[in-house]
Amino acid sequence: MRISQVGLSIALLATVAALAAAQPTSASSPANRGMPSAVKAPDYGTASLTHVRVSAMEFSPLNTNLSGDWYPGPGRTRYPSLYLGSWEGPFHLPGGALLKRVELDYCDTNASGHHVQLNVLECDNQGQGCSPIGAQLVSTSNGCAFVADDTLNYRVDAYHHLYSLEVDFTADDGTVALASVILSYQLDVSPAPATASFADVPTSDPAFQYVEALVSSGITAGCGSGNYCPDAPLTRRQMAVFLSKALGLNWAGF
């Protein structure tokens, strides 16, 4: 079978998106909580959200003199013995991804208006000059539940910024506890540049954005002489190069 390079470019994107969307769901799937369905985190494809959960056990005190000890709450939740300091958690998102949603999972039975609060922080590369991404999430006194912000569309820039999950407690008696934080992100195709890399794929070409994404990713360098040869047939050998580079395939067992 022989197909054009533009055809493969589009078919490749469609294939990996379909693979990502075909992940199985279960009774505990986020789909049953009003969230986009995605159980197994896809490392490729643009059709689904990938969900990364940061458990309470991954948080540590920013200032050990103010945060006290980390005590077990209901189930696998945790709360501090002092509530004057912040607890910080890691931000496990790849650079270039779009942060679309943040969820705070908690247990809160405090009747006096004392809650657990979450901020997602963007800092400079030294961890200073931090500012929040999106709104602060605050628990309510309704037991074990979650609160989320699904209005985000933030592009992660892991080269220029350090990111952190900051959790603050306003009670230290076990009535408010952290379970986890969920970060939901989406992969997408790079925006089209202003100028074309190939003379035969101008900015007006329907596949221009996708061809430029392949070039930017190092998947193709064209067919020579400044051209991409978009309508030239593609051999199975060339297809193997495209797919292996696009998906980062390897043959080793590690």
Rounded CA separation 130/125 (Å): 10
C-alpha to C-alpha distances, 98 to 68, 151, 158, 178, nearest whole angstrom: 35, 12, 12, 25
Task: Residue 96: name the closest of 226, 175, 186, 34 by CA.
Answer: 186
Query: What architecture is the 48-186 domain classified under in CATH?
Result: Sandwich (2.60)
Spell out the per-residue pLDDT of the chain, length 254, in tens.
Answer: 444 555 555 445 444 444 433 333 333 334 345 554 444 445 567 778 889 999 999 999 999 888 889 999 999 999 999 988 899 999 989 888 999 999 999 999 999 999 999 999 999 999 999 999 999 999 999 999 999 999 999 999 999 999 999 999 999 999 999 999 999 999 888 889 999 999 999 999 999 999 999 999 899 999 999 999 999 999 999 999 999 988 888 776 65
Q: Give residue 254's pLDDT.
A: 56
Q: Where do the structural domains in the chain lie, given as residue ranges?
A: 1-46+189-247, 48-186
Give the predicted TM-score (pTM) of the model: 0.74
Rounded CA separation 214/223 (Å): 13
φ, ψ of residue 251 to 5 degrees: the values are -105, -5
240: which residues sit within 8 A by CB, 6+ positions away? Answer: none
